[in-house]
Structure 1
């Protein structure tokens, strides 16, 4: 019965394919789909996977609607709702391959966020006095982390749960704590 309901729901999702096909951000959406499919161990064509992720995941819909901003996106959001507590600032440049882990009460407000970004719930990436962070590629931000101000988070970095990041984070680092401090750099422990 559930698969029948899902099949019927996917029919209502068909207009999303038009948004996907006509989007200027189609390559980023493809990267999102690939990353989600890998994380969920799913196979299929991009259109089929897109419909599945739209059907099951309000946070995927939030990312999709962010990438396909239009009047049609707003209309489709009426019956295919995005995650209302997951916000992406309209001015944030968001690279492809975004993956979320239940991003409830998460705000992404950065100059830019690179490719293959992972974010969990209760995360705030925000500004101080109009100055926003810049996040590199392959960065993971875990539960409850806060990244604010005119700072850079380097490529391949991990921001630990509850970390408060107010200073630059070098590439290939793991940071934890309040205030955040580097505990690993280039795979090696750092003396604190």
Structure 2
């Protein structure tokens, strides 16, 4: 073998070796809670005694139909039930135009990590796009995908899978 052929083969072997390395598994960051909505009492729950502070996460969860939209298997489209939930969220968010939110995308445990992260992102963005179409400024919304890393229900049955295929809206401030 000539030196040129040896160098070409060595370069190819190095390139293949570099491509075959697995990326280290890095878990998504913990949910972003942003600055705590402390109201006037320093209480991070958004409640003062028995009162709920208007514009807080506690007010949001009390006022909307649900903070969670569920999806079908391998789906990220907004169905009529999801529309009703997101309509109530949009109404509340339009009432409080300075409130920022994060929309978390989640999946059940089936599928690869990469697939679930991508599907969770599509689910969160579907909810974000729907809220934006209802007048909520996109600059107030951020999305994050947790894939299957943060299940709402543990278990490997259809009920647990259905509960974990979701997008969750979290009020930040």
Structure of larger gyration radius: 2
Q: TM-score range by the shorter chain?
A: under 0.3
Q: Greater RCO between the two (CA within 8 Å, min separation 6)?
A: 2
Structure having the higher strand fraction is: 1
